[in-house]
Amino acid sequence: MTSDSTKRETSSGPLGFMRHDHDACVSSTLAAAEAHCASEGLRFTPVRHKVLEILLLEHRALGAYAILDKLRDDGFGSQPPVAYRALDFLVANGLAHKIERLNAFIACAHPNQSHTPAFMICRLCNTVAETQSSPARGALGDAARATGFRIERTVVEAEGVCPACATEADA
C-alpha cells in the first residue's frame, strides 16, 4: 500500500492542508485498504469500509458519535459499539489514527507503512494533516538512544491554524 497512487503526502506538504483530487484520494485509499485486508486475511466488513470512507471524505478529525450519526444515516447500526469496533479495527491495522487531543479519528495518510506520525490540527476547523516526521528520529529519538530508552509509542500533535483558516482570517 505504498505505491505513488496511494501516497497522500507530497513534496509540498501534508495532504490535509492541500488541494488534491479528492475522489481519487478516497477511491485509491479504499482500494488499497481492501487489497491489504485481503492479503492479510482480514475481514473488511461493510461497516469498516464505510467508516474508513467517512474518515477519508472528511480529511478532518471525527469523533465516534459523529461517525455513528453518518453510519445511521446510511442504514448501518445505531449503537456506539458499531462505530467503536470499526474504529478499533482501522487503528489496529494501520488504516486510521486516533487524535488524542480531540478524542477523534482520521484516516491514515500512509496506510500500512511503518511510521510514527505527527499531526497538525487546525484549532478553527479541526482539519488534521499527518506528516511522516517521526519524533523518534529527531531530538527525542537522540535523547532516548543516548540513555538507552526504547521508545515504543509517541503521539505528537501540534495545534494551530491551517492555511485555509489563516487566509480567511486575513481577508
Which residues does residue 107 pair with via DSSP β-bridges, in sequence order?
A: 96
- In this predicted model, what pLDDT tens digit does every residue of 84-123 receive, in sequence order? 999 999 999 989 999 998 899 999 877 767 777 888 998 8
Please give the C-alpha separations between residue 59 and each of 47, 108, 153, 160, in angstroms, as whole numbers: 19, 10, 23, 16
| Model pLDDT for residues 13-41, shown as the tens digit of each residue | 455 555 655 576 788 889 989 998 999 99
Question: CATH fold of 9-170, please?
Answer: Arc Repressor Mutant, subunit A (1.10.10)
Q: Which residues, including other chains, have CB under 8 Å from residue 88's CB and lie 6 or more apart?
A: none
In tens, the pLDDT along 117-153 reads 888 998 888 888 888 766 666 788 889 889 999 888 7
Domain extent listing, the chain: 9-170
Question: Alpha carbon 148 to chain centroid distance?
Answer: 30
Residue in the block written with cell 482520521: 106
**Contact yes or no for 118/158 (Cβ under 8 A):** yes
